[in-house]
């Protein structure tokens, strides 16, 4: 386990950059069924949003809004939701100054927040609305609260779940954020990939004790991603399938590029499957493990780098 401060910071940076890179790789083929497009091997332009190669979508925009909130005011769900509104209504945090890609569940929840001003009740609890909109933006949470791992898993799980509430409040979404935050903390801390993804990993056992996971997320944590292959593995917008697909692409990949391209080429919700897998891959291989060309050609990389620096300058375990 490589747990020097420098190595940990490199993996934290990789987590956020991996999110944006996976998002940008998938942006041009979003909504397309698997096999209906030329396999993605690098950034490409156009697609449903008419983006340039290397430009990213709502996944990265919302992650930047969340990171800005954490670095500015620490833990405040109302502030987080306000920054999401700044993005939805005014294009702040967007790659091109416009909110051009937003899920229906997210937009409806943010409109409820705008009307009633309660971020804890704005996200729907309906199981049928268990989308992947809160795991796609998650990276700032485990980065900011990494010092809570592994001694304060219960506190970490609370923040992870609460981060989902403004837009996605179903039990599946809350559990997905809790499980994913734990896995990312383990990987960023330098733990072995196979150990972290094992169903008997001690921190996971502790999470299950203090915050039992939804049964569908528990099945993913038990290793469903290892026993399935496409077309059973589906890169959909459903949070359970999205998490499972990202872990399938990541768990036995030989490097960062292979992981995120496997995720994106599953089709359908390609930007988010890429963003979720990119977080896992970036947390494991770190910034140093990301191909130089993917870093160089990532749009507005300096904005993401600045957000990472601000998050790393904080100490969520104290301020949380």
Which tens digits make up the pLDDT trace of 204-229? 999 999 999 999 999 999 999 999 99
| Mean pLDDT confidence for 2-16 | 93
Report the pLDDT value the prediction gives residue 2, as an integer from 0 to 100: 59
Which residues pair with residue 131 across a beta bridge? 238
pLDDT band at 3 (very low <50, low <70, confident <90, very high): confident
pLDDT in tens, 177-195: 999 999 999 999 999 999 9
Mean pLDDT taken over the chain: 97
Alpha carbons 71 and 177: distance in angstroms, whole number: 20
| Mean pLDDT confidence for 149-174 | 98
Domain segments of the chain as ranges: 5-41+55-319
pLDDT in tens, 106-137: 999 999 999 999 999 999 999 999 999 999 99
Report the pLDDT value the prediction gives residue 319, as an integer from 0 to 100: 43
Does this model's pTM top 0.85? My answer is: yes
Report the pLDDT value the prediction gives residue 320, as an integer from 0 to 100: 47
Q: Residue 251: CB partners within 8 Å, gap ≥ 6? A: 193, 197, 225, 226
Number of H helices, E strands in the chain: 17, 0
Phi-psi region of 300 (alpha: psi -120 to 50; beta: other; left: phi over 0): left
pLDDT in tens, 59-94: 999 999 999 999 999 999 999 999 999 999 999 999
Alpha carbons 303 and 246: distance in angstroms, whole number: 25
| Mean pLDDT confidence for 243-252 | 99
| Mean pLDDT confidence for 32-58 | 97
Report the pLDDT value the prediction gives residue 314, as an integer from 0 to 100: 83
| % of the chain residues with pLDDT over 70 | 98
Of 171, 164, 187, 158, which Cα lies nearest the Cα of 247? 187
Alpha carbons 10 and 24: distance in angstroms, whole number: 21
- Tell whether the model's pLDDT for residue 265 goes beyond 80: yes
pLDDT band at 1 (very low <50, low <70, confident <90, very high): low
Report the pLDDT value the prediction gives residue 205, as an integer from 0 to 100: 98
Domain 5-41+55-319 has CATH 3.40.50.300: no
Report the pLDDT value the prediction gives residue 44, as an integer from 0 to 100: 97
| Better-predicted residue by pLDDT, 319 or 293 | 293
């Amino acid at each position: 386990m490589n747990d020097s401060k420098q190595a940990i910071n490199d993996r934290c940076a990789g987590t956020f950059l991996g999110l944006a890179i996976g998002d940008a790789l998938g942006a041009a083929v979003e909504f397309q069924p698997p096999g209906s497009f030329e396999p993605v091997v690098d950034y490409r332009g156009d697609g449903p949003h008419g983006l340039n190669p290397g430009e990213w979508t709502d996944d990265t925009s919302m992650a930047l809004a969340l990171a800005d909130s954490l670095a500015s005011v620490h833990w405040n769900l109302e502030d987080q939701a306000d920054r999401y509104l700044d993005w939805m209504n005014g294009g702040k945090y967007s790659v091109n100054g416009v909110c051009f890609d937003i899920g229906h569940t997210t937009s409806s929840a943010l409109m409820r927040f705008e009307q009633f001003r309660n971020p804890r009740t704005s996200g729907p609890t309906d199981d049928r609305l268990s989308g992947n909109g809160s795991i796609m933006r998650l990276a700032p949470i485990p980065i900011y609260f990494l010092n809570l791992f592994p001694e304060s898993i219960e506190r970490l799980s609370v923040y992870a779940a609460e981060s989902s509430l403004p837009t996605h409040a179903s039990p599946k979404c809350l559990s997905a954020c809790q499980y994913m935050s734990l896995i990312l903390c383990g990987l960023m801390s330098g733990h072995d990939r196979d150990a972290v993804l094992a169903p008997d990993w001690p921190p996971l056992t502790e999470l299950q004790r203090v915050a039992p996971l939804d049964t569908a997320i528990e099945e993913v944590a038990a290793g469903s991603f290892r026993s399935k292959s496409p077309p059973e593995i589906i890169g959909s917008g459903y949070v359970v399938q999205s998490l499972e697909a990202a872990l399938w692409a990541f768990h036995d990949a030989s490097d960062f590029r292979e992981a995120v391209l496997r995720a994106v080429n599953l089709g359908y919700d390609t930007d988010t499957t890429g963003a979720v897998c990119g977080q896992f891959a970036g947390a494991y291989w770190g910034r140093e493990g990301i191909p130089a060309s993917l870093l160089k050609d990532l749009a507005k990389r300096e904005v993401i780098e600045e957000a990472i620096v601000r998050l790393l300058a904080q100490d969520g375990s104290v301020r949380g």
